[in-house]
Amino acid sequence: MTLKLTTLALGAALAAGPALADLVFPSLDYRTGPYAANGIPVADAYADYFTMLNARDGGIGGVMTRVLPCETAYNTEKGVECYEATKSEGALVYQPYSTGITYQLIPKATADDIPIHSMGYGRTSAANGKVFSHVFNYPANYWDGASVAVKYMLNEEGGSLEGKKIALIYHNSAFGKEPIRTLEELSKKHGFELSLLPVDHPGQEQKSQWLQIRRDKPDYVVMWGWGVMNQVAIQEAANIRFPMDKFIGVWWSGSENDVLPVGENADGYKALALTAPGDEFGVYEDLKKYVYDEGKAAGNGDQMGTVLYNRGLYAAMLAAEAARTAQEIHGTADITSGMMRDGMEALEITEERLAELGFANFAPGFKVTCENHGGNGMGAVQQWDASAQKWTLITDFIESDSDVIQPLIAEDSAAYAAENNIEEGCN
Amino acid sequence: MPEQLLFAMEVTLNGLMAGVLYALVALGFVLIFKASGIFNFAQGVMALFAAMTLVGIMDGQVPFAHLINATFGTDIHHFGWHVPALLAIILTTGVMVLLAIGVQKFVMGHLVNQEPIILFMATIGLAYFLEGLSDLMWGSEIKKLDVGLPQGINETIDQVTYDLFGYGFFIDNLDIVATVIAALLVVALVLFAQYTKQGRAMRAVADDHQAALSVGISLNFIWVLVWSLAGFVALVAGIMWGTKSGVQFSLSLIALKALPVLMLGGFTSIPGAIVGGLIIGVGEKLFEFLLGPALGGATENWFAYVLALIFLLFRPQGLFGEKIIERV
């Protein structure tokens, strides 16, 4: 309620004042290239949400928003070029949607006083805001994902993974290697045997890895894959008759794009989720009224409720809420990127606010602080129903094992701080 | 029999099958290089374009639907019919022939007598053009390709090997089909080249362009023919790989798998593409099986190139390539 009143007051004040520049949200899209099928729904959702805010609320705090798209084709060099080309237009926050681009932008954006939001990807130890002042990876990071997967398996196995075999099949890149350290720590803690199976980019040929899985007969296979690697892995798992309900992908291996090409064989496959799937949320009514029916949709309207479209919506909503928070903190609607950073660091998403925004039961609430840029670290498990062609959440949102993850974050961020002469601390 | 030996046998068999799939891609390169001296950088993208066209035709998808809808404010996506797989393959072959005519008329025809590097650069441009055209025509989403090919473990082999060794070998049915199709394709190509008028003309052009021209062979026709054949081979490769992974942009990257095969087998030999594919397939799989775990895994991509380079040290023209002797 307080938030609403503040927003109204800000809007009223602005109505009487001079015209303000738009709030600029760059969108580093990849509508072309090998990952276009995944990039399009995310980019469409990001644009659609801000279109809705403009049409329904007149923007944020009375200032219209402007999404500034730039095509990266998921290419790191192009992503950096996009950043350089758009930052001078008043960019408030960058969401690179690529771990490679995120790594490149961390020092640049920090120097330029522009925040980065890498939601569920990027550098995991950026959760330590005392070192990474301008990088936020709420609501969860890769290490949270690894821990949530293990907690789920623990639950499935009646609380013990002692003597069990877990195989990690992963994209042989910085992204794919992220969970290894956490899983190694968790294997020591829970007594399971971890085997590592890297797959080289792009991942169209995985026969060796799946023959090994067939020989070793692990109890579970966890996948850290992206793009074509996911479809091939799910198909190969089906080929060797690995039980799909023992096969769990990270949230980047759990969209409709990953399972539909495999058809009925993908039935029962599981993946982690940052949000609920589907379009049965209040926000979709407003999107339909103000965006789709008005012919203002960024895409052709066939992605509503898909996993990646919902992720794009979630990212846009969190960016908008951070901007709103920044306006409140600084008492001005015309915020800068530095103010946006402050808004992100003070962001609090409550269940009540989620319900007000039409996101009830979409994702759990969380609070960001200087010490914790990583949010609640929660993830759920979803399962694919091939006959109904839909994902369904099969668990509540699960908390990660902070006892294991926090020391790893502290260690990695301290190493980064030492390398870059950063003095840890909060403003 | 020791367990490790059984596993190695299984890996070898799977390597042979994977090699056939690599060879299918390499064949397209060989056909064009042999007849025109052009290293066709666009061969992988041709496989993508062919597979996307096939799925589009089968699903009754309206080509350029997004463009049409955005321009005219319409909302059309499908014709409302489904085309049987065989008919769709024939129609797609027709599209690949049209593409070959287009390539010859608008690209290669203008570059006659240019340096090979110029022709190579033109095929890079063609690759980018086809990438964009594929997305524009059929959309970027990942498509399921089902032309009725079987997939999954072959029960008979599993059972027979289990009875023999106490361990059932995994062989994918799709790989077996790919092997049969590749064998038929090679036999058909060899018969075509040996016993038909057009095939002989193709070989004549491959041997000596000027001599072929002097006896009245049309270079234009032969090059259209060769690009059409390469387009058909790309379609076959696209079907096999697309069935495995869904039809998507990454199909164009299968060309990376063909390069070491070409280096090893030679750029001008159809049997070389097959034998090269088999050697690469078995070599990379066995290396991964034997030494992969000690080296951290994911050795297949780089090992294929290392293997090809080792062969090149002893036979620079590849196993079956033509030895080029130039007198000073």
Determine whether the interchain pair A208/B246 forms a contact, defined as Cβ–Cβ distance below 8 Å.
Answer: no
Position A14 scores a pLDDT of 46
Distance of alpha carbon B162 from its chain centroid, rounded? 34
Please give the radius of gyration of chain A, using alpha carbons only, rounded to the nearest integer: 21
pLDDT digits (tens, 9 = 90+) for A222-258: 999 999 999 999 999 999 999 999 999 999 999 999 9
Amino acid at B261: V
pLDDT digits (tens, 9 = 90+) for B178-233: 999 999 998 998 899 889 999 899 888 877 878 888 999 998 899 899 999 999 99
With a cut of 50, say whether residue A2 has pLDDT above it.
no
ipTM value: 0.90
pLDDT digits (tens, 9 = 90+) for A123-172: 999 999 999 999 999 999 999 999 999 999 999 999 999 999 999 999 99
pLDDT digits (tens, 9 = 90+) for B226-268: 999 999 999 999 999 999 889 999 899 888 888 999 989 888 8
pLDDT digits (tens, 9 = 90+) for B55-71: 999 999 999 998 998 88
Peptide bond into B260 cis (omega under 30): no
Determine whether the interchain pair B135/A196 forms a contact, defined as Cβ–Cβ distance below 8 Å.
Answer: no
- Give how far Cα B107 sits from Cα of A330, B111, B283, Å: 60, 7, 38
Q: Which CATH code fits A142-273+380-406? A: 3.40.50.2300
Among residues 75-104 of chain B, which lie with CB inside 8 Å of chain A? none
Mean pLDDT, residues A285-299 taken together: 94
For residue A262, the chain B residues in CB contact (below 8 A) are 144, 246
Whole-angstrom distance, CA of residue B97 vs CA of residue A272: 45
The candidate with the shortest Cα–Cα distance to A48, out of A281, A229, A290, A372, is: A290
Q: What is the dihedral of CA B303, B309, B313, B318, to 10 degrees?
A: 120
Position A122 scores a pLDDT of 92
In Å, how far is B119's CA from the nearest CA of chain A? 24
Determine whether the interchain pair B170/A36 forms a contact, defined as Cβ–Cβ distance below 8 Å.
Answer: no
- Work out the widest C-alpha separation in chain B, in whole angstroms: 69
Determine whether the interchain pair B296/A215 forms a contact, defined as Cβ–Cβ distance below 8 Å.
Answer: no
**Ranges of H-type helices in A29-178:** 36-57, 76-86, 99-112, 142-156, 174-177
Determine whether the interchain pair B250/A227 forms a contact, defined as Cβ–Cβ distance below 8 Å.
Answer: yes
Q: Which of A36, A215, A231 has the CB atom closest to B249's CB atom?
A: A36
Whole-angstrom distance, CA of residue A206 vs CA of residue A199: 7
Determine whether the interchain pair A263/B146 forms a contact, defined as Cβ–Cβ distance below 8 Å.
Answer: yes
Judge whether B262 and B318 are in contact, CB under 8 Å.
Answer: yes
Determine whether the interchain pair A232/B300 forms a contact, defined as Cβ–Cβ distance below 8 Å.
Answer: no
pLDDT digits (tens, 9 = 90+) for B294-306: 998 889 889 999 9
pLDDT digits (tens, 9 = 90+) for A40-83: 999 999 999 999 999 999 999 999 999 999 999 999 999 999 99
Contacts of B27 (CB under 8 A, 6+ apart): B182, B185, B186, B189, B233, B237, B270, B273, B274
Q: Which of B11, B73, B249 has the CB atom closest to A33's CB atom?
A: B249
In Å, how far is A311's CA from the nearest CA of chain B? 17
Determine whether the interchain pair B135/A227 forms a contact, defined as Cβ–Cβ distance below 8 Å.
Answer: no
In Å, how far is B246's CA from the nearest CA of chain A? 5
With a cut of 70, say whether residue A8 has pLDDT above it.
no
| Structure tokens belonging to residue A141 | 């990071």
With a cut of 70, say whether residue B290 has pLDDT above it.
yes
Judge whether A46 and A67 are in contact, CB under 8 Å.
Answer: yes
With a cut of 50, say whether residue A17 has pLDDT above it.
no
Judge whether A115 and A87 are in contact, CB under 8 Å.
Answer: no
In Å, how far is A232's CA from the nearest CA of chain B? 5
Contacts of A228 (CB under 8 A, 6+ apart): A34, A202, A203, A204, B245, B246, B248, B250
Amino acid at A166: I
Determine whether the interchain pair B170/A204 forms a contact, defined as Cβ–Cβ distance below 8 Å.
Answer: no
Residue B298 contacts A where some CB pair is shorter than 8 Å: yes
Mean pLDDT over the full length of chain A: 93
Q: In CATH, what is the architecture of A2-140+277-376?
A: 3-Layer(aba) Sandwich (3.40)
Residue A259: pLDDT band with limits 50, 70, 90: very high
Number of neighbours of residue A366 by Cβ within 10 angstroms: 19
Q: Which of B140, B248, B292 has the CB atom closest to A208's CB atom?
A: B292
Whole-angstrom distance, CA of residue B17 vs CA of residue A424: 55
Position B326 scores a pLDDT of 61
Q: Which of A34, A207, A295 has the CB atom closest to B250's CB atom?
A: A34
Amino acid at A7: T
Position B328 scores a pLDDT of 61
Please give the radius of gyration of chain B, using alpha carbons only, rounded to the nearest integer: 21
Residue A427: pLDDT band with limits 50, 70, 90: low
Q: What is the DSSP string of B203-244?
A: HHHHH-HHHHHHTT--HHHHHHHHHHHHHHHHHHHHHHHHHH
Whole-angstrom distance, CA of residue A171 vs CA of residue A326: 37
Interface of A with B (CB under 8 A): 31-37, 40, 172, 196-200, 202, 204-205, 207-209, 211-212, 214-215, 227-228, 231-232, 235, 238-241, 257, 260-263, 265, 295, 300
The candidate with the shortest Cα–Cα distance to A170, out of A137, A142, A198, A146, is: A198
Contacts of A28 (CB under 8 A, 6+ apart): A70, A72, A79, A82, A83, A94, A95, A96, A97, A98, A101
Contacts of B58 (CB under 8 A, 6+ apart): B82, B83, B84, B85, B88, B147
Residue B296 contacts A where some CB pair is shorter than 8 Å: yes
pLDDT digits (tens, 9 = 90+) for B129-170: 999 999 999 998 899 999 999 999 999 999 999 999 999 999
Q: How is chain B split among helix, strand and coil, in percent rounded to 5?
A: 75, 0, 25
Determine whether the interchain pair B151/A235 forms a contact, defined as Cβ–Cβ distance below 8 Å.
Answer: yes
Residue B309 contacts A where some CB pair is shorter than 8 Å: no
Residue B327: pLDDT band with limits 50, 70, 90: low
For residue A227, the chain B residues in CB contact (below 8 A) are 248, 250
Domain with CATH 3.40.50.2300 in chain A: 2-140+277-376, 142-273+380-406
- List the domain boundaries for chain B: 3-314
Q: How many CB pairs under 8 A join A and B?
A: 112
Task: Please report where in the chains the tokens 């979630």 appear, as a residue.
Answer: A314
Position A6 scores a pLDDT of 52
Judge whether A390 and A383 are in contact, CB under 8 Å.
Answer: no
In Å, how far is B79's CA from the nearest CA of chain A? 17
For residue B245, the chain A residues in CB contact (below 8 A) are 204, 228, 231-232, 235, 261
Position A151 scores a pLDDT of 98
With a cut of 90, say whether residue A21 has pLDDT above it.
no
Task: Please report where in the chains the tokens 């060794």 appear, as a residue.
Answer: B165
Whole-angstrom distance, CA of residue A360 vs CA of residue B31: 59
